[in-house]
Structure 1
C-alpha cells in the first residue's frame, strides 16, 4: 500500500487507516485478529483507536494482538484522549486528565509509546495552552512520537496549530487532525480543510463511507448485522438516510456500475484522493469487509466521475465564502 507523510512531518503512514471503534464491543478478538492480519498483509500501517472505545476494550484488544500477531514496529498506533464516557458526553482537556489517560492507554496497549496521540475534542473550559502543554510533555517524555487533534472546528484548529508554531523551541508541532469527511459530510471544506492546507497538517477522515450509508446497503432498510440495525447505533446512522443523501448514494452506485467496482470503492477513493487528505480511517465488522475496502488501492477515479460526484454532493456555502467584492 502506498505510504504518505502525515502533514509536514517525517512520519509516513498507509493511505488507508484501520479504525477500531467497534473492537471490544461488537467485534470480538477473533474478528479483530483477522482484520489486523488482513490489514498488515495488505501493507497497512496506521491503526486508530481511542481510550473510550468500548471503555478501553478496543485498546486492550489491540494490545493483545500487537507483537503476537503482527510486528509492533510495522504498525503506526494512534490513540486519543479527552473524551469522558458519561451521559453528557463531556470533554476534559486538562493536563492532568490527558496525561493520566495516556498512561492508562499505554498500559492497555502494552507498549511504552504511541506513534500518534490525539486530543479527542476541544474542551471549552480548559485553557487551550494547558491542553497543548500535555502534548508537549507526552512527546518530550517519549510516550508519544507525534501529536494531533480531533474534532476541532476551523478556528480551534488554527489557534492550536499556530500556538504550537509561534512559541519558542520545545513545543510540539501538530501533525494531524481527525475529522468526519465523506461525500455525505463535506462540512469541513468550509473552514477546517483550508486551515489544514495552510498549516501543513495531515487530515485523517473518519466515517469516510458516510457511516456505512455510501456502500448502498441501506437503500432498502437496515440489513441484519449492520450498524444501522443496532439500537445504540441508530442515531449514528439515521442522519444520513434522508432524501439528499439518497441522491448522492444513487450517484455513487451509478459511478460504481460504470467502473465495474463497488460503491464502497468509489466513495473511499473519492475521499482518499481529496486535497489535504493523508489517510481515511475505515472501520469494518469483518475481515472480508475490510478486504473490500483495501481493494481500493488499485482504483483511481476518472476526473469526470470526480467532478460529477463533487457536483451532486456539493455543500451550500454562502457568506463569507463567496466573493462579495461586487456588492
Structure 2
C-alpha cells in the first residue's frame, strides 16, 4: 500500500487507515485480530482509535494485539482525547489536565510508552484553545506523543489552532486534522480543506463510506446485522437515509455497475483521491467488510465518473 506524508511532517502513513471505533463492543477480539492481520499484510500502517471508543475498550483490545499480531514499530498508532461516555452521556473536556490524564490512561491501555499521533477529539468553548494546545506541546516534549493533531474542528477553528502553534518557536506544529468527509458529506471542502492546505495539515477523513450508507446495504431497508440496526448507531446512520442520500447512493451504484466495481470501492476511491486527503479511516465491523476496502489500492476512478459524482453530491 502506498505511503503518504502526513501534512508537512516527516511522518509516513498508509493511504488507508484502519478505524477501530467498534472494537471491544461490536467487533470482538477474533474479528479485530483478523482485521489487523489483513490490514498489515496489505501494507497498511495507520491504526486509529480514541479514549472514548467503547470507554477505552478499543484501546485495550489494540493493546492485547500489539506485539502479538503486529510489531509495535510496524504501525502508526493514533489515538484521541477529549470525549468520554463513562457517565452514560457524551461528555467533552479539552482542559490541559484532563487531556494529559487521558493520554496517560490511553498509553496504559495500549501498553505503549508513546503514540505516533495524538489528536484532540473535539473543540470545546469551555476551555481556551491556547490551554488545549499546551497539552499537545507537553505530550510531545515529554515523549508521550511523536506528532499531534486535531479532530472535528471547523475551518476557522482549524486555522486558529494551526496558526497559534506556528506563531511562536518551540510550539509543536499540528500534523493533521480528522474530519467527516464522504460523497454524502462534503461540508469540509468549503473551509476546512483550504485551511488544512494553507497551513500544512494532512487530512484524515472519517466515515468515508457515509456511515456505511454508500455501500448500498441500506437501499431496500436496514439489515439486521448492520450498524443501522443497533440502538447506539441507528440515528447516526439514519441521518443519511433521506432523499438526497438515496440519490447519491443510486449514482454510486450505477457507477459501480458500469465499472464492474462494488459501490464501496467507488465511494472509497473517490475520497482517497480528493485533493488534500492523506488517508481515509475505514472502520469495518468484520474482517470480511474490511477486505472490500483493502482491494482498492490499484483502482482509479475515470475523470468522467468523478465529475458525475461531484455533480450529484454537490452541497
Q: Same fold (TM over 0.5)?
A: yes
Give the structure-2-normalised TM-score: 0.98
Point out where structure 1 has 5 or more consecutive residues left out of the alignment. Answer: 316-327
Quick check: 2:51–2:84 contact (8 Å CA) kept in 1?
Answer: no
The correspondence of residues 44-193 of structure 1 with structure 2, limited to 5 A, is: 44-85=44-85, 86=87, 88-167=89-168, 169-193=169-193
CA distance in 2, matches of 1:129, 1:197: 22
Q: Which residue of 1 aligns with 2:249?
A: 249
Matched, 1:5 2:1: no
TM-score (normalizing by structure 1): 0.95
SS of corresponding position for 1:174: coil
User: Residues 21-40 of structure 1: matches in 2 within 5 Å?
Assistant: 21-40=21-40
Runs of 4+ in 1 over 6 A off after TM superposition: none
Distance 1:90 1:152 in 2: 17
Deviations 1:234-265 (A, max 9, x none): 01100100011101000000100111010000
Matched residues in 1 for 2:238 and 2:206: separation? 17
SS of equivalent residue, structure 1 residue 308 = helix
2:313 maps to: 313
Which ranges of structure 2 fall in alignment gaps of 5 or more residues?
A: none
Deviation at 1:84, TM superposition (A): 2.6
What is the alpha-carbon root mean square deviation over aligned residues? 0.8
2:234 matches 1:234? yes
Contact 2:177 2:201 in 1 (8 A): yes
Deviation at 1:87, TM superposition (A): 5.1
Displacement of 1:90 in angstroms is 3.1
Secondary structure of the residue that 1:162 maps to in structure 2? helix
C-alpha distance in structure 2 between counterparts of 1:6 and 1:204, whole Å = 9
Q: Work out the number of aligned pairs and report it.
A: 314
The residue matched to 2:295 in structure 1 has which SS?
Answer: helix
